[in-house]
Amino acid sequence: MIDNFSKDYFFLSNFYNAYLMYEGIIYCSTEAAFQAAKTLDVAERERIARLSPSDAKKVGRNLQLRPDWEEIKDKVMYDVCRAKFTMNSSLKLDERLLATGNEELVEGNTWHDNYWGNCTCEKCKDIPGRNQLGKTLMRIRNELRNQ
């Protein structure tokens, strides 16, 4: 099991700098693309596209969410992660993802995110996380393997 997207596995993190295009805008990370997708305001999306992953996340916390956000957020995450792993041939991210083999990918964290990952802090340690990001990455890995 890969249970932390840091060090050798930082490339799995949405904070990893890897350019991608999503809905006609070039972003520096999946985090920026995901946060920008929370709004329908194209100017705001373009502004977020230029931000670091951490700054994009901060801005994303304060955006007026588009009305369908809860229904589409999983698909947005899939789309931006798929773009990251297929649009960066120079970084060989697709090969690095495939090299994780059949390991379960778990976005372990300590910031109480039990939707996208699995928080292991003292408060959350007994609450199983949904690990939606890990599941998304394993889905993409399987699709790349079967191409």
CATH of residue 92's domain is: 1.10.357.40
Structural domain includes residue 2: no
- Burial of residue 2, with CB atoms counted within 10 A of its CB: 0-12 exposed, 13-18 middle, 19 or more buried: middle
Into how many domains does the chain fold?
Answer: 1
* pLDDT digit string, tens, across residues 31-56: 999 999 999 999 999 999 999 999 99
pLDDT of residue 88: 85
Structural domain includes residue 123: yes
Structural domain includes residue 80: yes
Structural domain includes residue 1: no
Measured between alpha carbons, how far is 23 from 44 in angstroms, rounded to an integer?
Answer: 14
pLDDT of residue 90: 82
pTM above 0.85, yes or no: yes
* Domain span at 26: 7-145
pLDDT band of residue 101 (cuts 50, 70, 90) is: very high
**When comparing pLDDT for 90 and 84, which is higher?**
84
Mean pLDDT of 5-16: 97
Structural domain includes residue 110: yes
